[in-house]
Amino acid sequence: MARKKAALDFEQSLADLQALVERLESGELSLEDSLGAFEQGIRLTRECQGALSQAEQKVQILLERDGELQEAPFDVEDEA
């Protein structure tokens, strides 16, 4: 269940980031609102990059097992 939650969190963060970019590109936000949206976008980008990095590490672990696809324990450090 943790994997599904992580995938859903990534998908939600990515969707939120896309919506935020669309709002910024519309040009209808004030300078203050734009700066707030930009800060939120940076936070979402970092969350997505972290999730992708963890997925990449897991794939690397799977591929480095003597040519066999065997799952190995993967410790995830919470950055929160």
Q: For 17-60, how does the pLDDT look when each residue is reduced to its tens digit (9 = 90+)?
A: 999 999 999 999 999 999 999 999 999 999 999 999 998 888 88
pTM of the model: 0.67
Rounded Cα gap, residues 48 and 55, in angstroms: 11
Which residue ranges form the domains of the chain, and what is each CATH number?
2-63 (1.10.287.1040)
Rounded Cα gap, residues 68 and 41, in angstroms: 39
- Least confident range from 20-24, 64-68, 74-78: namely 74-78
In order of 17, 27, 41, 54, 60, the CA distances from 33 in angstroms are 15, 11, 12, 32, 40
pLDDT above 80 (res 8): no
Only one residue has tokens 């910024």, namely 24
